[in-house]
Chains A and B, each alone.
Chain A
């Protein structure tokens, strides 16, 4: 074919819209290829080539100076012809509402109070700043007892969640071609026929797999579901969970409980792999307590000394960065460390541990497992803890 219509890079090879054949089939002599795709001559490669270098887009095939100047001159003239009318003042459009909603003052934000569930339970109260229906900033609600005006990192990041294109806005069905939009009416029809058999079996075989949350609304929904289908199962599950902490709380307090520490009154804090600033647990109240404990007031008395924080952890965390002393231990070494510190504390208190604690400590006080850590980490910490007990 003539050079004027074929992209130079494909000269010598197959036409882009010819059926795909491997490049070297039946070739004699040297054939240069630049990629394995080109060598294989796949359909995708030819499609890519055609898109990338459409055969009509290349005008500079004629290597003479005259044709080069002709093409350059033509594009310059075209650009000039486009610029003259383009030099005019740009036209801006004002698009007011068709039906203006109440309370919206264009140009001024509206604030809405809302709440967001925290991972692991609980919720925080938020104020969302909205400009003409678009949320722009999320802050804590000053009136909320947990937040008191502050917000967690999840709350700050959740403003992007609001613009997530994958956020479900209506029901969807799974068809052969993938997900398809559906309506609530279609779901009602589907539910009526699909869940009828569960009504007969009182829910046997139906499982609801949900994320963990402490939402009262969701609990009410769960109660309604389980009252209709008593044999159905409602399974809250989180892939990253603090099940161990809950088991520990069950050991300590008799019930599985979420734990929130009030750090404002603690003078010495020893954290074992718990990042109280960076997101484990109830970050907002704990961070507030931490800050209160570190705030030194001018007068003497309880507020006149900073709290001291020992952090023993396996990864770098905010609590470790803020701590006064930090020890790096593997998670497998933590029980041994805790046992050693506990034993040292009880030794200083001149009394033995009571039943359950002694049992837990018994097998674990293995200083050898701790490797070469500074014995000060056990003795000094124990001294400090005992000195500031209460």
Chain B
């Protein structure tokens, strides 16, 4: 029987649903003329929700073990909260535009409901809850990707996303059904206890990896990524590439460690191949891109390959390095996307050639973009370096020559990635342009968002306490 105490355990979810319901009530009762109030209302409510999320939580399991919350999962949710807060700030200028009048609150409600899905996904204690959360996190995103109703490629992005995620969900469910059929349970703990390394169970596991691979956009399953990222509105793209990928990485790590821990040697081989493919192909395709959104899409595919290295570490340091890298990746990538979205909102340009000579007209934005790209590439003073460093350390600590080779491949790929990140920097600082993007003033919310990113990129790298805290929470996995 549920009582009030139980509701405190799922405080994150309930508060977020409350925020979404308040926005919906606002949409119903606020007159059309003053709809803009909803934007600030949502941002303030979400800020409150983010702050409350850091208060100590009550650990526990609910619904017979289908839902569980502990310090580790609460930390993951808080990390996602920070990212979503920055995205809300960045999208404020875009959603204010005339073309989006009449669907302001829809954007926020859809965004918040996907986040609820991700919360349930992270907190799931069995495969059924994981699947439900995954669906709740995916279906509204397809509507968001098709949000620019006047653009054809936005609709294309939506339909591509819904079709490919339907396929991947099917594969995932097929895998789960095999695991259920052979172990007789969908609960994580019972599946782990009854896992007998039978071939049908291994097959189910491989289907599970394939299904999750779609969401994280690992290489054989990445084909939807670039088209969807290009077609979707830019703030939705940043949401897809950062928050949705982050949540999928988190639950993927949790399930690999908690449920399939016994066959760690087996999935290490699987992830080895996937990591090499993802890093290399993501990088090689990124070199040729000229559209900034496509470019960041392939860059995010390559980053997913690096994340797999940390998962392979198979120990507490491995989990820590993944969570730590995701936190840095969220801040860094949102910095890059923030600049791209600010430029798009002001001038409607998103081609790399349009960035030529940006430093002369908009020096602050160019410096910020440079900082974000350096962090993505992993150049020492910024946090991206530390993130990659811990990922590589975690896989090298397995102490086997084949993992040293993997680290070598990863380092080579990091060098290749430096080339295409620097291409953007070269365009902004060196390449001449007769009519560069004129000077413009970024709106205040987006400024605050970018400021958080800059502080985060330095702070997370230098303050060891953050790493220590994540290390401490990771032991609760």
A binds B: no
Interface of A with B (CB < 8 Å)?
A: none
